[in-house]
Amino acid sequence: MFEIALLATALLFGGSVLYSFGFAAFVFTALPAETAGPLIRRAFPHFYLFVIASAALAAVFVAAYDGLSAAILAAIALTTVPSRQILMPAINNATDQGEKSRFKRLHSLSVLITLAHIAGAAVVLIRLANNG
């Protein structure tokens, strides 16, 4: 079971890093902005569901080994819900309304949240590696 906890956490970490620094960056460099924007808009709800599901799954398996790590993973899952349901639609609305300043603020917030999630998953991986 420890191996499942480790792999689930690694999936969360690796998937988040790949999506944030790989896929999103690639899309905006490989496609014209008028195509990249709608593609990213369609992909983000799925990314957020991935984070919610993988963080929750990892929290369940990690709980048997490390309560603090399980709490970090649960917090990642829980804080992703408002990011998906509230923040993402607000970002899209700001884009649709041409509110560049509001978009920048909201997008910056979403980036900070994602970076915090990646950092949290990294902390859990390190804790598991040191206690495994």
pLDDT in tens, 72-93: 999 999 999 999 999 999 999 9
Banded pLDDT at 131 (limits 50, 70, 90): confident
Residue numbers of the domain that contains 46: 2-131
User: For the chain, how many structural domains are there in total?
Assistant: 1
DSSP per-residue letters across the chain: -HHHHHHHHHHHHHHHHIIIIIIHHHHHHHS-HHHHHHHHHHHHHHHHHHHHHHHHHHHHHHTTT-HHHHHHHHHHHHHHHHIIIIIHHHHHHHHHHT-HHHHHHHHHHHHHHHHHHHHHHHHHHHHHHHH-
* Mean per-residue pLDDT, 43-66: 96
